[in-house]
Each structure stands twice: as C-alpha cells, then as structure tokens.
Amino acid sequence: MSQMIPAERSVRVNLGDRSYDILIGPGLIAEAGREIAARLKGRRVAVITDENVAPRYLETLMASLAQSGIEAVSLVLPAGEKTKSFDCLIPVCDAILGARIERNDAVIALGGGVIGDLTGFAAGIVRRGSRFIQIPTSLLAQVDSSVGGKTGINSPHGKNLIGVFHQPDLVLADTGVLDTLSQREFRAGYAEVAKYGLIDKPEFFHWLEQNWQAVFAGGGARIEAIAVSCQAKADVVAADERENGLRALLNLGHTFGHALEAATEYDSHRLVHGEGVAVGMVLAYEFSARMNLASPDDARRVEAHLRAVGLPTRMADIPGMLPPAERLMEAIAQDKKVKGGKLTFILTRGIGHSFVADDVPASEVLSFLKEKHPQ
Amino acid sequence: MSQMIPAERSVRVNLGDRSYDILIGPGLIAEAGREIAARLKGRRVAVITDENVAPRYLETLMASLAQSGIEAVSLVLPAGEKTKSFDCLIPVCDAILGARIERNDAVIALGGGVIGDLTGFAAGIVRRGSRFIQIPTSLLAQVDSSVGGKTGINSPHGKNLIGVFHQPDLVLADTGVLDTLSQREFRAGYAEVAKYGLIDKPEFFHWLEQNWQAVFAGGGARIEAIAVSCQAKADVVAADERENGLRALLNLGHTFGHALEAATEYDSHRLVHGEGVAVGMVLAYEFSARMNLASPDDARRVEAHLRAVGLPTRMADIPGMLPPAERLMEAIAQDKKVKGGKLTFILTRGIGHSFVADDVPASEVLSFLKEKHPQ
C-alpha cells in the first residue's frame, strides 16, 4: 500500500449524474481557480468562510479565482459551532443571492465542518439547489464531512436536525493546509481515518498502525491515508446516499461519542467530536467483546493504537466530571430511538468487521456503562 | 369527458419510490384520519395552518386524526404572503421537532399555497426530509402548488428564491372547502385550470368553455376539472421533476404575470397571482400572434373565455397606474435571464399547442408591451 504514493490523488464519488471528484494534494487552494474554471460553466462564485480560515487562505483563493477569470465575492462568518444556526444561514443565503449566483455559477465553502455544513445547506436551498464546491481545511472535514452531501445546521432540539442532502460538484482537499492545524485538531480528524479501517478495512488499520507517524508528519503517507478514507466514504455513500441502511456503518463509535459530547455540553475545551469518536470506538469494541461478538484483544488493539497517536480512549481521559451512567444512557436513547427496549448500534466481530445491529438490549448497554463509569 | 363523473377521483403522481396519490372529492378533511392512518407507519403528526383556515377546518381535521388514533399538534400562523419567510420557517421547524415527529410520522399543511409552500419546505429540511401531507384549501393550491414538490419561501431578492424540491406523500383535495372561497379567489385558481387546457389539452379547454359554469357551481364538473388539472400537472412533473426542460411549460402566462405582480408591488387588492396569470396568458397568445406563430383568433378565444368567467384579461383591467413598458420589461429581464438580447418564453402555435421558445428577442417583447400599454 505504501509502495506507490503519488503527489496528488483523485477519488470519484459515483452518484450517476451527480457524480463528482475529490482532489487531494498540497497546494490545491492556489490552483482552485484552474480546477473550478475547467469544470464550471458559469463565471461567478460566492465564497463562504470563517474568521479563523480567512486570514490564512482567503486571499490565495480569491487571487486564484481571479486569475482564472472567475468573479468572486466572499463572506466571513464567526468561527465555531454556533455558526451552524439560522442566524448565520440567513445572511449566507442573502450573500449568495446578492452575488447573483445562478444555475451555472457556484457557492464555495472554505473551512472546516461547520462552514461546510452551513454553506452546503445554503447552496442546497438557494434557488432550490445551487452548485457547490467544498474546500475543506481540517482533516475531519477532508476525510468525513465534506464528502457525501450531508449538510445542515443545529436546532435547540439537537445537532444537525435541520438540513438537506446536497452533493458538492467538486471537493478540493488541500493537504498543505493541515500543517497549520494544532496537534489536537489533527488527532481528532485522525480518529475518523482510523474509523474507516475499523469498519471494513483491516489491512488499512494495520497500515495505519505501522505508518501513523508518517501520516502525522505529512507528505505522501498523509495523502494516501486521506485518499483511502475518502474512497471508503465515497463507496458507502454511493451504495446508500440517504442513509437507509449501510451508511449507518459510518456511525461506528458515534452513538457513545455523541452521548459523551452531550454529557460535556459540547464544550470543546473538554471534548471535540473526533475525540468523542475515539473513546466511542473503543467502547463499541469493548461492548462487542462483552456481548461475545469480538475478542477482547481487538478492543485492546484499537485502544493501543488510538492511545499511541495521543487520542483519549477512556471516559476517565475526559477532563472534568461526567454525569452518571443513567444520564449517558438517556442521551443515547435520545440519539437512537429505543424500540421495545432495543437499540440500533454499530457493533463489530473484529478489526474491520463492523456491522449494524438493530436489536441491542438497552439494559445491556446500561450495565456496560455502569461498569466502565462507576460513580 | 362529462359523461362519467364519479363523486371522488384519485390521481397518481408517478415518481418511482416517491410516487403518491392525490385524492379529490368533498368531505376529505373529515376523512383525513382514515386516509392518513392507512398510509402512514407512524402515529404522530404536526399540522401547520393559518388564522383564516384554522377557525373553519382545524377542529374537523384534529377530530378526524384523533378518531384514527393519530396524535396531532397544531401551529396556527398569520395568513398572507409575508408568512413565506425565515421568520415563520424557524417556529415551524421548532414545532415539528418539538412534537418529536420522526421518520415514520408526518407534517401536514392545511391551507392555501403560502401554507403549503412554507410547510413543505420545513418538512423538506427537518431531519433532512420528513414525510409531508398536503391538504390544500384553495383552488389554486389544489390544482397547482400542492402538486409537484416545489416548496419554499421568499427572499428580499425575490419570490420563492429559497426552498427545496420535496414531494408530498399524499394530497387530500377536499373540494367541499372551495364553496367558502370568494368568487375572486375561485376565479384566480380557475386561471391555472384553464392554463392546462391552453398548454396541451385543446379538448379540455373546449370542455371548460362549455362547462365552466358547472365548474364554478361545484359538484361533479368541479371535481372533474380539478382531476384533469392535477393529472396534467402530475404528467409534467413525472417527466421533468426538477424543471430542466418540459416543466417550464407550466409557466405559460407567468412571465408577463410575474412582471405585473411586481409592477403592482404584490398588492393583492390590485392583483392576485391567478389574475396576473390570466392577463399573462392572453398576452402570451397575443404576442405569439404578433410573432406569426398563432392566429389572432386563438388569442381572442382565450380572452373571451377568461373574461366570461370574470377574470381580468388586459393590463387596463388592473386597478391603478402601471409603470411604463420599459419598467415591465426590466421586471421580465430580472425574472428570465436575458442572454445576448434573447429571452426564454412560453409561446403557442394555437389553443393547446404551447412550447418553450428560448430565442425570443427582448426588443420584440418591449415593442409589444409598448403597443399594449401606451403611456
């Protein structure tokens, strides 16, 4: 796998007449104008970004667009999860319409998952669907949220409860920008990379165990890891675009992870999404072992790898107090509807052998949580 | 056509696994619980309606739902076009989520086009798409806006600029409620009924010329006219769901009509949508005659029929001053993008022989408007 690593990779998401390319490599923001001009009929774009990303990359992007004859306006939003709201959606829609973005033009998201989700949603509803280009600037966004067409904002009732499926027309994953991420942010994205191995790519997980330091260092191994991750997500999305079945596998580690995010009140000082997923994946493997589905050795191997890269792997690793197991269980029940005392969960029979289990007894999950998190 | 008129009709909209039924007949609101319970897996609904419709039909609907074991909450919004806004969309989304409407449950729109467009949009974005039932209470909504999946709200930049395509799961067109419409509102909806004849059903237009009084009176002829209209729209939508081509035919009379609505500042005392369409269809037929595409006799026949039912047919019929032809032309150019001095327009070669013309010289349209509306 590590023998042939080119400087740039491209992954195709196959969705019939809505198929699109993900380009992966360093320097793609500076080349964005050329790549977009080659694919877009129109010559106008609206770029949506945030206050953290704009000072670093907006000028490069705007210059590249201008050089290719593309007229661009930009809107810079506050950074952070609160931006995924109607309060920010409304000015984004206004900016797109004000820029007279029409059928052959495009909306560009330049930023992490928050900017991608919000901008994709706006693109999905302006003129009942406008062209959309993702330029993800975090590892999490490059390997997960920018691929697959899930867009949306948060509601007072919960995260991501308002949105649409709206596929991008192009994703430009500039791997150069990842050098400026904090170690903590890079690690959080890495949890999703490891997830693809744990779902159904045992040899990829093995490769990561051997090569994770090279992935963190940058260069070819990083591009390779991102490309394999994007291909894995693209394959699942192509098979089940609207999450009627198989796509649920992408939630490995997420049911426990979401409950922990809720339990820490989405306080990013305590826990960010990828960290919740890391702890959640270890819990999913341990719970599978407890249900006699997988060997405890697999859970230990998962934990050892995630711990090696510096991710939290146990509830005790999360700073501050966690609520009792019963409260965590309530959060899980809110996330996944309980039917007759049974839950749908992503469980595993071993490394790279995960599956959707729709009859997990809620009582077993509660006992397990009490064991893992005694008060 | 008039020989066999049953008491209730049903039209199927064929869209693969998103196909749905339109039921047409008197008393359907009182039977809504039974029809919905027979089709819906879930047992919860959120009903969205407005202050005009609620006092008349909400109680009947809620009683019918309760009788069939369906748990319902309702939200009553202000009536009128201003309700098609983010300001009302946000509380509607909140109400749906607050009612814990999930995958197998549904959102119900009880009202005219404004309520249907707004509620359909909310249903389209809550949980990235929730089940949706239309109970249209105006003739316009029954024959046009409730069928076909176009949903949305207005923006300061223009009408219907924010929305999604989201098909309903069921449409219940209770023809009994039309008895309580004002003559003016019924006539406005009738303009869209006549439109289907003028697009591609010459024999239906002929039937309307003979039977319009029976259609206005109610009973079987009205049900027949609504069923033919819904079938006509269903056929076009099935062939071109997202308006890439053929669906544009449904805009017959709408380019001129929208310009007149804008010119009267959407003041419903002066002009409502269906009236704008009536004047617009006569203008489209007259313009086609001027371009030597159709006979002037056809334009006269269209005008004679619309005038007979009591609709306005000429710009001079609109109360108050209209802006000069140049300003109307600007409104048209904003509605339809002008490319190299050419416009896309729905023109006609005769009654029931309309077509999409994409090379109409803007200069010809302006000369025509100056003739029709001399200062």
Which three-class secondary structure state does DSSP give residue B159? Answer: strand
The pairing of strands A71-77 and A20-25 is: unpaired
Q: How many CB atoms lie within 10 A of CB B139?
A: 29
Within 13 Å of residue B42, how many CA atoms lie on the same side as its CB?
Answer: 17
- Which tokens go with B105? 């449950």
Q: Mean pLDDT in chain A? A: 94
Backbone angles phi, psi at B129, to 5 degrees: 120, 110
In contact, A197 and A190? CB cutoff 8 Å: no
Q: Is A254 annotated as a binding residue?
A: yes
pLDDT, tens digit (0-9, with 9 covering 90-100), for B305-330: 999 999 999 999 999 999 999 999 98
Q: Is A337 annotated as a binding residue?
A: no
* pLDDT value at residue B97: 95
Task: Reply yes or no on whether A211 is catalytic.
Answer: no
The active-site residue out of A128, A157, A269, A337 is: A128
Of A308, A329, A319, the residue nearest A371 (C-alpha): A329
- Which tokens go with A57? 């990359």
Q: Domains (ranges, CATH) in chain B?
A: 9-179 (3.40.50.1970), 184-372 (1.20.1090.10)
E-strand ranges in chain A read 9-13, 20-25, 44-50, 71-77, 106-111, 132-136, 153-155, 158-162, 170-174, 342-348, 354-361
| DSSP 3-state percent helix, strand, coil across chain B (nearest 5) | 50, 20, 30
Considering CB atoms only, which of B124, B127, B155 is closest to A93?
B155
pLDDT, tens digit (0-9, with 9 covering 90-100), for A8-41: 899 999 999 899 999 999 999 999 999 999 999 9
Q: Which helix (H) or strand (E) holds A171?
A: strand A170-174
Of residues A265 and A84, more confidence is placed in A84
Shortest Cα distance, chain A CAs vs residue B125, angstroms: 5
* pLDDT value at residue A336: 67
What is the pLDDT averaged over residues A364-373?
A: 94
All residue ranges of chain B with pLDDT < 50 are 1-5
Look at B94 and A155 and tell me if their CB atoms are within 8 Å.
Answer: yes
Look at A90 and B86 and tell me if their CB atoms are within 8 Å.
Answer: yes
What is the pLDDT averaged over residues A95-119?
A: 95
Of A262, A257, A240, the residue nearest A249 (C-alpha): A240
Is the CB of A150 inside 8 Å of chain B's CB atoms? yes
Look at A164 and B127 and tell me if their CB atoms are within 8 Å.
Answer: no
pLDDT, tens digit (0-9, with 9 covering 90-100), for B326-335: 999 988 887 6
Q: Which region, left, alpha or beta, applies to residue A201 given φ > 0 means left and ψ of -120 to 50 means alpha? A: beta
Task: Reply yes or no on whether A303 is catalytic.
Answer: no
The active-site residue out of A131, A195, A201, A247 is: A247
DSSP state of A22: E
Shortest Cα distance, chain A CAs vs residue B361, angstroms: 21
* pLDDT value at residue A375: 72
A159 chain-B contacts, CB cut-off 8 A: none
Look at B161 and A102 and tell me if their CB atoms are within 8 Å.
Answer: no
Query: Which residues have C-beta within 8 Å of that of residue A321, sequence separation ≥ 6?
Result: none
- Which tokens go with A22? 């993900």
> What ipTM, to 2 d.p.?
0.93
Give yes or no for residue A5 having a pLDDT over 50. no
DSSP state of B17: G
List the Cα angle A25/A76/A36 in 5-degree steps.
40
DSSP codes, B208-275: HHHHHHHHHH-SHHHHHHHHHHHHHHHHHHHH-TT-SSGGGGGGTTHHHHHHHHHHTTT-TTT--HHH
Give yes or no for residue A121 having a pLDDT over 70. yes
Look at B129 and A93 and tell me if their CB atoms are within 8 Å.
Answer: no
Is the CB of A344 inside 8 Å of chain B's CB atoms? no
- Which tokens go with A282? 């270890």
In contact, A33 and A245? CB cutoff 8 Å: no
B interface mutation test: which of A128, A145, A159, A334 has the most B CBs within 10 A?
A128
* pLDDT value at residue B300: 98
* CA separation for the pair B216, B226 (Å, rounded): 11
Q: Which residue has the tokens 């990561």?
A: A208
Check the CA dihedral B25-B29-B31-B36 and report its sign: positive
Query: Which residues have C-beta within 8 Å of that of residue B92, sequence separation ≥ 6?
Result: B48, B75, B77, B118, B119, B122
